[in-house]
Copies of this chain bind each other. A is one copy, B any other.
Amino acid sequence: MLENRAGEIDPNTESKIKNAARRVFHQKGFSATRTRDIAEEAGINLALLNYYFRSKKKLFEIIMFETMFGFMQNMLVVFNDEKTSLLEKTELMAEKYTEMILKEPQVPLFILSELRDNASDFLEKLPMANIIMESVFIKQIKDEIAAGNIKEINPLQFIINLLGLVIFPFVASPLIYKIGSLSTKDFELLMQERKKMIPIWIKSMFYKS
């Protein structure tokens, strides 16, 4: 049986194209991706891409939306859990997000670089602003500040630091590989260490000692 580059076992043509498109778009971004790249990666005739998805842009929008949605979902679930404490949430975020990104390390840079152009207003289509700033997570930060357990700070700084500590090394990975002369395994171990350390770092940063 013929396999495409991902070694998929006979998904239907539409799925093959979508999966190939996801891989290529994630790797190279919209502008650097040629529809012929996707067709080759999927092992299908070029015309089938348009047959199933109308256009490169439409296909991209599907991939972009699914990618962003998957990326946000994890965060929102953790942020809105009524049962976990603020520190537990930072632990869950560091844990889950690191694991998720390790499986597809190119996704954060893909999302951020595509958002730069912002042409298609993807952020408008996802209800981001309200949902995050009105989350249990933000409420808990404010409560801890009010209770005197956390230093006075804009909750947005808390979020930026948490996301930054988790996401930044992946976005800057070529730089970090180079600076540290790292192998793939080295890098992964470094991220595993961060998974444990980030909650501790966050605690040190924001909590009164």
A residues at B contact (CB < 8 Å): 27-32, 106, 109, 112-113, 115-118, 123, 128-129, 132-133, 153-154, 156-157, 159-161, 163-165, 167-169, 171-172, 174-176, 178-181, 190, 193-194, 197, 201, 204-205, 209
Contacts and interface: CB of A to CB of B under 8 A. Distances in A.
Given A161-B201, A179-B128, A32 B112 contact: no
A157 B194 contact: yes
A-B CB proximity, top 7 nearest: A164-B168, A31-B32, A31-B31, A113-B113, A115-B174, A204-B204, A201-B205
Given A117-B28, A157-B193, A197-B157, A133 B179 contact: yes
B171 A112 contact: yes
Given A32-B117, A112-B109, A117-B28, A160 B178 contact: no
Given A128-B179, A129-B181, 4 more contacts: A115-B175, A118-B174, A128-B178, A163-B172
Q: Is the interface of A mostly helix, strand, loop or mixed?
A: helix
B109 A113 contact: yes
Contacts of A123: 174-175, 178
B190 A154 contact: yes
B154 A193 contact: yes
Given A31-B32, A113-B113, A163 B168 contact: yes
Contacts of A168: 160, 163-164, 167-168, 171
A123 B180 CA distance: 13
Contacts of A113: 29, 109, 112-113, 116
A175 B112 contact: yes
A172 B28 CA distance: 18
A161 B197 CA distance: 11
A30 B194 CA distance: 33
Contacts of A180: 129, 133, 156
26 contacts: A29-B113, A30-B32, A106-B116, A112-B113, A112-B171, A112-B172, A112-B175, A115-B174, A115-B175, A116-B174, A123-B178, A128-B175, A129-B179, A129-B181, A133-B179, A154-B190, A156-B180, A156-B190, A157-B194, A157-B197, A160-B168, A160-B172, A164-B169, A164-B172, A205-B205, A209-B209
